[in-house]
Amino acid sequence: MPTLYNRIANQNLDRLSALSDGVFAFAMTLLVLDLRLPAFAAVHSEHDLWRSLAALGPSLLMFLMSFLTLGIFWNGQQTQLNYIERGDRDLAWIHLAFLFTITLMPFSTRLLAEFIHFRSALLLYWGNILAPGLLLYAGWKYVSRYQMIRADTPLEIRAAICRRVVIAQTLYAIGALLCLFGTFWSVGFIFAVQLNYAVAPRLPWRRRETTAA
């Protein structure tokens, strides 16, 4: 009985994009709520204040790291949706599941910031990077299979979108594995991978590659 309903639901991708932008915007801004002000009573001089603020450094770095993750996934989802011609209910639910993992990001970030020496915290954080990656991959496979990609999308772009997820997730998995040596190695490696995705393309020797490609 619900089959007709399934065909008619969620054909319009604009609202899916708008909902996603809202969830991302909110998750990005929520992170900062965890930056607590220094206690007024404990601050007697400029020096005290600088020291209290410096103590916020690790939290701020973790916040930056999660902001990068959110930015990377926002970019990834957006690029996919740009090439999709129309949606349906299944695709909407794949992306809702993706958004669910995004809403968990502030929690797993806080968890890692508080328990950075614990492997369980790191593995959960990694799980929260793996899950949205897998869902983005599933979403792209789904639209490929049911011919929902815009007809004018060149084949190499279709492949590039898949390859992208696979390479990034392989790197993150290597990062997670590094926790065998210590959780700081993992955090450092994952952070480096994220910075690479955000910043690297603008480095001069990458530019050259671009021209060569």
For residues 99-138, which are near a copy of itself according to CB under 8 A?
Answer: 99-100, 103-104, 106-107, 110-111, 114-115, 118-121, 124
Q: How far apart are CA 63 and CA 94, in angstroms?
A: 27
End-to-end alpha-carbon separation of the chain, Å? Answer: 51
Q: Does 171 bind a copy of itself (CB under 8 A)?
A: no
Binding flag, residue 201, a copy of itself (CB under 8 A): yes
Using the rule CB under 8 A, is 151 a contact of a copy of itself? no
147: left (phi over 0), alpha (psi -120 to 50) or beta: left
Instruction: Kindly state the smallest distance separating residue 91's Cβ from a copy of itself, in Å.
Output: 10
Of all helices (H) and strands (E), which one includes residue 41?
Answer: none
- The answer to whether 8 contacts a copy of itself (rule: CB under 8 A) is yes
Nearest distance from C-beta of residue 183 to a copy of itself, angstroms: 11
Determine the Cα–Cα distance for residues 67 and 63; give it in Å rounded to an integer.
6
- Contact status: 195 vs a copy of itself (CB under 8 A): no
Contact track, a copy of itself, 65-94, x by CB under 8 A = --x---x--xx--xx--xx-----xx-xx-
169 interacts with a copy of itself by CB under 8 A: no
42 binds a copy of itself (CB under 8 A): no
Task: Spell out the long-range contacts of 34-43 with Cβ–Cβ below 8 A and sequence spacing 24 or more.
Answer: 34/59, 34/63, 34/106, 34/110, 34/113, 35/59, 35/60, 35/63
Is residue 40 at the binding interface for a copy of itself, with CB under 8 A as the rule?
A: yes
Rounded alpha-carbon distances, angstroms, from residue 46 to 36, 58, 60, 189: 18, 20, 20, 35
Residue 146 interacting with a copy of itself (CB under 8 A): no
The nearest distance, CB 139 to a copy of itself, in angstroms, is 12
Q: Where are the alpha helices (DSSP H) in 41-154?
A: 46-55, 57-82, 89-114, 119-145
With contacts defined by CB under 8 A, name the span among 24-32, 129-137, 173-181, 185-193 that binds a copy of itself: 24-32
The count of chain residues that interact with a copy of itself, using the rule CB under 8 A, is 85
CA angle 68, 30, 35 (to 5 degrees): 90
160 binds a copy of itself, rule: CB under 8 A: yes
